[in-house]
């Protein structure tokens, strides 16, 4: 649709540009949808496009007769083919006559030309005309300069939209748009802001001497008063130590750009003052009670955090242009390769020596995990070059060689390899950077410096250190070790400047998943055995914490299952087993809980796996889901366990099953290490992939459905046991641990009619009340399954009744106030069923064994359904639906933040106009889906607009409902009926 819009605009008559209504008719879209598409591309409306053409057309006409009337000028323009009103002509004429043309005309041309999707016909000056007219009519013909963005890698590909947004923000009349740049650390937010400044200077949007003031709010985040003083200045006596008046950065940036990095570190008071500055162009210095000061300053802010969770709504509303910079992992492989060449080219210039990057090293740099993004990649390459230079000096080589050995700490990103496996072969060659081959002083790729070049102090330091170490030893290895000891700290500092990934976030995630007491108990136990296992991998801490936390939870609800397949571990690993027995005993004492002795066998296997340094293959873990959730779960699990085993695969909504199957087969073949693959899927319909992939590839694949993040974590820690843990045992363990609460036997049905027992210790009368509750809570249960009320006051009589019933019927489950402990028959306490989680667990069981159907109406309830709500933005509708869920007891306080965190991972809007935001299931009290059918479409993300929003507050027991939802939205008639619904009742009717 975007390409079609570009094509139409490229072919439009510039004298009669299409209105949004015209475009809507041509594209068969709603007008609101056209506006969203146009704005996302940075394209002005028809009036602004026409105005730019009119300026060029009016200049020669006004040169002939500057005093002609607006009516006469309008008539001449209409005769020339323009569809134009006198009102618009008057605006254009006045701007020209008043002398504002040199700024306004160029800005309007800039908007037209910077949008890139279409080209407009430019009015050429008539060479025969007399150019000796008044100065106000002399407009220098000036080409559109692009140099401000020429140095940005990906400006014509991965960052095309972002660059167009940046141009539009700078060029928008009369004073541009305040801009918020969002992106992880190291993605180039500061560089984009600098490019916008250069663009403004080169195109006369800003004066040549306009300042660019950059300020990192994090530098003073611990001292809000000093931070505010830095920004807004202060008067003498404003606070202790304020001995004189001081100008702030806002005043210093007057006439130019103020760039605020890490703006989320600005306190609320500062955001409010900044909001006032953006709104009125006015501010006061701290402590100043006099008149306000006025400045003309453009504000560009940057943040690594979701703005909805860290910035005030009033402040966000004053930042109309929001530019999102993607992480390096989402940039095309070609761009990553260009970055690689560019940074090596920089180092070659510093060294003025030949650098050879080996093919395998190129592959590593193209596929390794780089959480610090472009900044980290630059730092990593600098460190590799420094170490390569050191090796060259010691070995007296004539070139710096970058080998895989220098990059051994870089861990491959399996998602990157999986998605770009076919393209990597194009880069399977050595790269040579030779200072003798520089042409005209430009780099290989014609790219200007992306990050400001630094003096080659690191190389000088290495040379000096080597010279000083010559007398120490004649042995090359000893000399190198001596030098490395001196420069290691400098190299680490070099890397840390480009990698800003806070470690505490990982620990915070663990704290939210694993009980703090369990973590502490594991830490103490590991300290106790550390002397016996000095080479124990640090990752075992999180591995054991997750495992034992699952054991503790399963013991608490009585669902613990023994794994007899591990019985031989004690004989195979006697020292590890002895240590594990001591650990289990110590942890049991600390937690005041009796952990079964067989857990020592599993702990022993972990000790063996994380100390043996074995090179055998692992069981590989693949997460396959509809949408981007699988990739996110795999990434989170890899980072939390500090491994690279999980690979996430996304199945698009409109993708065929055959296509997805082929892609999964290719990934299995490319990553298998000889132990097979475990395939975790989100819906039961994909379970059949396992056996089919095995038949196709010969690689053993087992499939487990209803995957969530905890299951992926569990699979990863068990998969690390390699050949000591079979893929069948892994699949069995994951199936058994899928739910903590109710263990439902999966044996074959006898074919007898199903029956549901309601039970109360006081007698059948209260059991009948339980039945009434179930019939009310489960619409459709009545008539689809027989229900029998029993009392447990006389246990022998109760057992006789059960035996009689089982002769002619299958007892599906017992729901009641006390557990009768009957083998093979699931029990649901009434309290558990009423929590919501239990409701779904019982619904799933009944749908398997009866004609009771799972319906969306089980989760879409009247209190969380809205028709035509008053919301004008994505954030407002998310806030509104979350508040409805919270008010009705569906979610806890942290749910909203988890939704915004999920939004930051990628698009949640489908191309059918339905958005499906969702949050962390740990914040779900009882499952539900809040629905809003919107009166007008809302812009959701680049190129996507939502007509309806489904906010999912669900857990792992809701897989069947998700599958029903996806079936529904594939039905075009159902989707159209939903979009045309005029009341909550109509919406609820569609959920039946």
Q: What is the 3-state secondary structure (H, E, C) of 555-566?
A: HHHCCCCCCHHH
pLDDT band for position 260 (cuts 50, 70, 90): very high
**E-state strands within 104-251:** 179-182, 212-216
Q: What is the dihedral of CA 848, 849, 850, 856, to 10 degrees?
A: -20
Q: Which pLDDT value is given to residue 911?
A: 77
Q: Which pair of structure tokens corresponds to residue 54?
A: 């009119």
- In this prediction, residues 636-658 reach a mean pLDDT of 77
How many whole angstroms separate alpha carbon 46 and alpha carbon 49?
5
Query: Percentage of the chain with pLDDT > 70?
Result: 73
How many residues are recorded in the chain? 992
- In this prediction, residues 214-242 reach a mean pLDDT of 80
Phi-psi region at 18: left, alpha or beta (left = phi > 0; alpha = psi -120 to 50): beta
- In this prediction, residues 452-469 reach a mean pLDDT of 54
By the 8 A CB rule, do 371 and 499 touch? yes
- In this prediction, residues 784-807 reach a mean pLDDT of 83
- In this prediction, residues 664-682 reach a mean pLDDT of 87
By the 8 A CB rule, do 260 and 217 touch? yes
Q: Identify the three-state secondary structure at position 216.
A: strand
Cα 507 to Cα 513, 534, 636, 904: the distances in Å are 10, 24, 12, 20
Specify the pairing of strand 298-303 against strand 257-261.
parallel
Q: Which pLDDT value is given to residue 763?
A: 60
Query: In the predicted model, is pLDDT for residue 114 greater than 60?
Result: no
Model pLDDT for residues 197-211, shown as the tens digit of each residue: 988 888 888 888 899
Q: Which pLDDT value is given to residue 131?
A: 35
Question: Full-prediction pTM beyond 0.85?
Answer: no
Least confident window among 6-10, 152-156, 562-566: 562-566
Q: Which pLDDT value is given to residue 853?
A: 58
By the 8 A CB rule, do 851 and 872 touch? no
Helix residue ranges per DSSP H, 497-592: 504-513, 516-529, 540-557, 569-572, 574-591
Q: How many other CB atoms are there within 10 angstroms of residue 697's CB atom? A: 16
Query: In the predicted model, is pLDDT for residue 975 greater than 80?
Result: yes
**What does pLDDT average to over the chain?**
75
- Which residue, 243, 279, 930, 914, is CA-closest to 627? 914
Q: Which of 192-206, 724-738, 749-763 has the highest mean pLDDT?
A: 192-206
Q: What are phi and psi of 860, to 5 degrees?
A: -90, 105
Q: Identify the three-state secondary structure at position 82.
A: coil
**E-state strands within 657-723:** 677-681, 701-704
Q: Which residue has the higher pLDDT, 456 or 711?
A: 711
Query: In the predicted model, is pLDDT for residue 301 greater than 90?
Result: yes
Least confident window among 111-125, 269-283, 322-336, 521-535: 111-125
Give the number of C-alpha atoms closer than 13 A to the C-alpha of residue 453, restricted to the C-beta side: 14
Cα 55 to Cα 43, 45, 200, 448: the distances in Å are 18, 16, 21, 35
Model pLDDT for residues 589-630, shown as the tens digit of each residue: 888 888 888 888 878 877 876 775 444 578 899 998 876 677
Helix 2-11 to helix 31-40 angle (10° resolution) is 90
Q: Which of 419-428, 550-559, 725-734 has the highest mean pLDDT?
A: 725-734
Q: How many other CB atoms are there within 10 angstroms of residue 449's CB atom? A: 13
Helix residue ranges per DSSP H, 809-958: 830-833, 837-849, 874-887, 895-903
pLDDT band for position 107 (cuts 50, 70, 90): very low
């Amino acid at each position: 649709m975007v390409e079609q819009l570009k094509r139409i605009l490229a072919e439009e008559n510039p004298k009669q540009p299409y209105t949004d209504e015209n475009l809507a008719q041509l594209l068969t879209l709603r007008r609101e949808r056209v506006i969203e598409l146009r704005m996302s591309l940075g394209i002005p409306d028809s009036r602004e496009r026409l105005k730019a053409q009119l300026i060029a057309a009016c200049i020669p006409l006004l040169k002939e007769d500057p005093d002609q009337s607006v009516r006469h000028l309008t008539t001449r323009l209409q005769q020339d083919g323009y569809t134009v009103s006198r009102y618009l002509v008057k605006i254009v004429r006045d701007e020209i006559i008043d002398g504002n043309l040199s700024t306004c005309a160029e800005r309007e041309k800039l908007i037209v030309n910077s949008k890139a999707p279409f080209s407009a016909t430019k009015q050429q000056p008539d060479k025969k005309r007399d150019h000796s007219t008044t100065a106000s009519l002399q407009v220098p013909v000036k080409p559109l300069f692009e140099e401000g963005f020429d140095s940005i890698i990906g400006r014509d590909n991965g960052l095309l939209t972002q660059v167009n947004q940046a141009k539009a923000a700078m060029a928008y009349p009369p004073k541009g748009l305040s801009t918020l740049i969002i992106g992880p650390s190291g993605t180039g937010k500061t560089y984009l802001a600098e490019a916008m400044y250069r663009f403004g200077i080169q195109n006369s949007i800003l004066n040549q001497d306009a300042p660019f003031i950059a300020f990192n709010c994090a530098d003073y985040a611990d001292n809000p008063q000093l931070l505010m003083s830095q920004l807004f200045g202060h008067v003498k006596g404003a606070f202790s130590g304020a001995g004189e008046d001081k100008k702030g950065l806002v005043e210093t940036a007057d006439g130019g750009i103020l760039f605020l990095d890490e703006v989320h570190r600005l306190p609320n008071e500062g955001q409010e003052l900044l909001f006032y500055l953006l709104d009125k162009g006015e501010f006061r210095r701290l402590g100043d009670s006099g008149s306000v000061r006025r400045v003309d300053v453009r504000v560009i802010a940057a943040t690594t955090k979701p703005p909805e969770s860290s910035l005030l709504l009033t402040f966000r509303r004053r930042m109309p242009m929001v530019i999102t910079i993607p992480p390096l992992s989402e940039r095309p492989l070609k761009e990553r390769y260009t970055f690689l060449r560019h940074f090596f080219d920089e180092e070659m210039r510093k060294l003025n020596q030949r650098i050879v990057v080996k093919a395998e090293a190129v592959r590593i740099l193209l596929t390794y995990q780089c959480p610090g993004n472009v900044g980290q990649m630059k730092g990593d390459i600098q460190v590799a070059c420094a170490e390569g230079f050191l090796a060259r000096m010691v070995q007296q080589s004539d070139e710096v060689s970058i080998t895989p050995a220098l990059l051994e700490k870089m861990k491959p990103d399996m998602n990157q390899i999986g998605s770009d496996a076919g393209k990597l072969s194009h880069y399977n060659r050595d790269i040579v950077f030779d200072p003798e081959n520089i042409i005209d002083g430009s780099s290989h790729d014609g790219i200007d410096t992306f990050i400001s070049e630094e003096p080659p102090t690191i190389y000088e330091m290495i040379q000096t250190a080597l010279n000083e170490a010559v007398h120490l030893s004649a042995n090359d290895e000893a000399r190198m070790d001596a030098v490395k000891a001196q420069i290691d700290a400098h190299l680490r500092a070099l890397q840390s400047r480009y990698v800003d990934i806070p470690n505490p976030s990982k620990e915070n995630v663990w704290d939210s998943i694993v009980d703090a007491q369990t973590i502490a108990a594991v830490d103490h136990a590991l300290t106790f055995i550390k002397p016996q296992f000095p080479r124990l991998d640090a990752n075992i801490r999180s591995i054991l914490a997750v495992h034992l936390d699952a054991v503790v939870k399963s013991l608490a609800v009585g669902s613990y299952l023994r794994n007899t397949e591990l019985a031989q571990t004690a004989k195979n690993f006697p020292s590890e087993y002895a240590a594990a027995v001591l650990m289990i005993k110590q942890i049991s004492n600390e937690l005041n809980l009796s952990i079964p002795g067989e857990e020592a066998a599993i702990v022993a296997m972990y000790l063996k796996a994380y100390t043996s340094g074995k090179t055998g293959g692992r069981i590989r873990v693949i997460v396959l889901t509809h949408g981007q959730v699988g990739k996110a779960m795999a990434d989170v699990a890899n980072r939390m366990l500090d491994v690279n085993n999980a690979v996430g695969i996304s199945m698009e909504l409109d993708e065929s099953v055959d296509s997805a199957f082929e892609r999964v087969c290719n990934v299995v073949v490319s990553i298998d290490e000889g132990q097979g693959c475990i395939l975790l899927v989100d819906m039961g319909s994909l379970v059949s992939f396992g056996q089919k992939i095995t038949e196709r590839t010969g690689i053993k694949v087992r499939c487990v459905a209803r995957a969530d993040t905890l299951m992926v974590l569990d699979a990863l820690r068990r998969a690390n046991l390699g050949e000591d843990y079979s893929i069948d045992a892994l699949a069995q363990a994951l199936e058994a641990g899928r739910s903590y609460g109710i263990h439902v036997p999966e044996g074959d049905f006898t074919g007898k009619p199903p029956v549901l027992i309601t039970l109360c210790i006081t007698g059948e009368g209260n059991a009948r009340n339980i039945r009434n509750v179930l019939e009310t809570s489960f619409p459709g249960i009545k008539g689809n399954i027989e229900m029998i009320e029993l009392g447990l006051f006389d246990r022998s009589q109760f057992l006789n009744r059960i035996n009689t019933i089982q002769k002619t019927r299958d007892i599906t489950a017992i729901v009641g106030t006390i557990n009768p402990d009957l083998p093979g028959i699931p029990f649901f306490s009434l309290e558990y069923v009423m929590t919501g989680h239990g409701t779904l667990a019982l619904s799933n069981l009944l749908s398997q064994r009866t004609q009771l159907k799972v319906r969306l109406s089980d989760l879409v309830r009247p209190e969380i359904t809205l028709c035509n709500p008053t919301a004008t933005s994505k954030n407002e509708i998310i806030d509104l639906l979350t508040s409805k869920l919270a008010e009705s007891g569906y979610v806890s306080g942290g749910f909203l933040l988890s939704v915004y965190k999920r939004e930051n991972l990628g698009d949640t809007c489908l191309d059918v106009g339905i958005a499906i935001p969702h949050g962390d299931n740990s914040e779900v009290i009882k499952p539900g889906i809040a629905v809003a059918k919107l009166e007008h479409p809302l812009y959701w993300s680049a190129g996507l607009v939502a007509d309806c929003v489904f906010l999912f507050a669900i857990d792992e027991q809701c897989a069947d409902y998700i599958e029903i939802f996806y079936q529904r939205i594939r039905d075009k008639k159902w989707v159209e009926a939903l979009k045309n619904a005029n009341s909550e009742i109509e919406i609820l009717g569609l959920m039946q």
